[in-house]
Amino acid sequence: MSETPSQKKRRLRFLTLAELVGIAAVAIAALGYWDSHRERTLTERERAAEAQEKKAEEKAGALKLSFLMTGTPDNGGERLRLASVHPEQVIQTQAVSFPSEVRSDAAQTTGNPRIEVGWFEDGLSKAEHARGDKSHHGRLPVGIVTTFIEDGETKTDRAIYLVGYSIHPRMLRSDKVELEGLSLVRRGVGDTLQAAIDALWARQAPPPPKP
């Protein structure tokens, strides 16, 4: 039985409506997927930003709590006055170690953080003469073990610093050593503090060649 023109027209119209419904369904699904993807992307970006911000805050907090000292020349460079960068960290005692060639034992302080040139001046002059070092400026590695109070707790810092100095020759007298400043090399040094100081000193001031 053949279709009449009217039936054929209705069938074509129904097919067109079905296609439109299918297209609309696909479009709605695509919009839903795009919206879901956009929301997921925004969420991931927010989480990444929060994680980065948290990491920055933790790093800033760690830096804030780190123990770091400054050294201010005093009395014409005869000593360095040591002080914590953070005033809430109160220094109690210190043990200052030098390269073994310069001084074999540590200098001790209590409640008066400092480095005195008299602690190592003779040893430094002898070491430099033995090496034939004629430079008038240098940096001496020192290890400083500091006991300090922070937030009511007693803490300890073990670090290596460089002490900047200049040498001024004098007639008929030993050379005068003048202290200039202090800079941090490394924090958190363990029981190998003395060995680390000696190694650093040997690298920057090689011993004289054997005859």
User: Is residue 209 over pLDDT 70?
Assistant: no
Residue 86: its pLDDT value, please?
A: 92
Q: How far is CA 177 from CA 24, 87, 116, 172, in A?
A: 88, 30, 11, 15
Average of per-residue pLDDT values in the chain? 82
15 has a pLDDT exceeding 60? no
What is the per-residue pLDDT for 64? 54
pLDDT at 38: 75
Dihedral sign for Cα atoms in the order 195, 159, 144, 200 = positive
Cβ atoms < 10 Å from Cβ of 58: 10
Over residues 35-80, the pLDDT tens digits come to 777 777 877 777 777 777 666 655 555 455 689 999 999 999 999 9
pTM of the model: 0.67
Cβ atoms of residues 74 and 118 within 8 Å: no
Q: Is the pLDDT of residue 145 over 80?
A: yes
Per-residue pLDDT for 187 more than 70? yes
Residue 87 has pLDDT above 60, yes or no: yes
